[in-house]
A and B are shown apart, each in its own frame.
Chain A
Amino acid sequence: DADVTQTPRNRITKTGKRIMLECSQTKGHDRMYWYRQDPGLGLRLIYYSFDVKDINKGEISDGYSVSRQAQAKFSLSLESAIPNQTALYFCATSDSGLFYKETQYFGPGTRLLVL
C-alpha cells in the first residue's frame, strides 16, 4: 500500500549507534503503530499512538523510543542499538473516524541489521 511509507528500507548499523526509522502516511489516519517481526514470533507491538499527543508503550518497548511529529509521521528510535534488535520493523496505521474500521495498513517494512 503506497499510502504508508517507511525509510530507510534497509539499514546496517553497529552496536551502540543511535538510529531512527521513519514512517509517513497519506491515508489521513490518526492511529499509528510500530511492530517488529522476528521469525517464529509474529508481529510484536513496540509503541502505538492514537493521536499526536498520545504515545503508548506496547509489549516490547524497552530499548526503543518514538516521536509523533505530526498526524502523518511517526518515528522509531533505537538510542543505543544492540544485536538482538536485528529484525524487520513495520509501521502501520488505522482509522478511528465516523466509519471506524480496525483494519491496520502496513508500510513496506525496514530491515535492520545490528552488528
Chain B
Amino acid sequence: GENVEQHPSTLSVQEGDSAVIKCTYSDSASNYFPWYKQELGKRPQLIIDIRSNVGEKKDQRIAVTLNKTAKHFSLHITETQPEDSAVYFCAASRGWGKLQFGAGTQVVVTP
C-alpha cells in the first residue's frame, strides 16, 4: 500500500519568513495530493491540493509543488503570519477517495 513520509515533524519560523514542508510517497499510481491544516483543537481542513498532471499550484501565500519522478511534493507558505501556526498534513491518493496521510508537521510562527 501507499506510504507517505512527511518532514520535518516540527518547524519554527519567524513571522514574515517562508516555511516549507516536504512529503514523499511510495505508490507511483498516486495522482492526487492534498494538504490539510489543523488548528489547535479544531478539525483538519483542506487548504490546497494538486493533481499529478500539474507541477505547481498557488493560492495566495501558499503553494504546492509536485515532482512525480522523485515522488515528492512540498507545501510552501510565504510571508508567514501567526495564524499559520497549526499542524499541516500531506496526503496521497490514487484518485478514488481513500487518502493516506503523512504524520503531520507542527508549524509555529513566532512574532
Residues of chain A at the chain B interface (Cβ within 8 Å): 1, 31, 35, 40-45, 48, 50, 58-59, 90, 94, 96, 102-104, 106-109
Known interface pairs A40-B9, A43-B89. Does A90 touch B101 (Cβ–Cβ under 8 Å)?
A: no
Q: Can you list 7 pairs linking A and B with CB atoms under 8 Å apart?
A: A40-B9, A40-B103, A42-B103, A44-B101, A102-B93, A106-B43, A108-B43
Given contacts A40-B9, A40-B103, A42-B103, contact A106 B45 (CB under 8 A): yes
User: Which residues of B are interface residues toward A (Cβ below 8 A)?
Assistant: 1, 6, 9, 32, 34, 42-46, 49, 89, 93, 95, 97-104
Query: How distant is the Cα of A94 from the Cα of B44 in the complex, in angstroms?
Result: 14
B49: chain A residues within 8 A (beta carbon): 102-103
A42 contacts across to B, CB distance below 8 A = 6, 89, 101-104
Distance (whole angstroms) from the CB of B106 to the closest CB of chain A = 10
B103 touches A41 (CB 8 A): yes
A45 B98 Cβ-Cβ under 8 A = yes
B9 to chain A: which residues have CB within 8 Å? 40
Neighbouring A residues of B89 by C-beta, 8 Å: 42-43
- Additional A-B contact list (13), CB under 8 Å, known A102-B95, A102-B99, A108-B43: A31-B97, A35-B101, A40-B104, A42-B102, A42-B104, A43-B89, A43-B104, A90-B43, A96-B97, A102-B34, A102-B97, A103-B34, A103-B46
Known contacts A31-B97, A42-B101, A43-B89; A59/B43 CB under 8 A: no
Complex alpha-carbon distance, A40 and B102, angstroms = 9
Q: How far is the CB of A91 from chain B (nearest CB, A)?
A: 10
Does B32 lie within 8 Å of A102, measured CB to CB? yes
Taking a contact as CB atoms closer than 8 A, the residue among B42, B98, B101 that contacts A43 in the complex is: B101
Q: Name the residue on A nearest B43 (C-beta).
A: A106
Q: Closest residue of chain A to B91, judged by CB?
A: A43
Residue of B nearest to A6 (CB): B43
Question: Once the chains are docked, how many angstroms separate the CA of A31 from the CA of B93?
Answer: 15
Distance (whole angstroms) from the CB of A101 to the closest CB of chain B: 9
CB of A48 within 8 A of CB of B44, answer no
Return the 3 tightest CB-CB contacts between A and B, nearest first: A106-B43, A42-B103, A43-B101
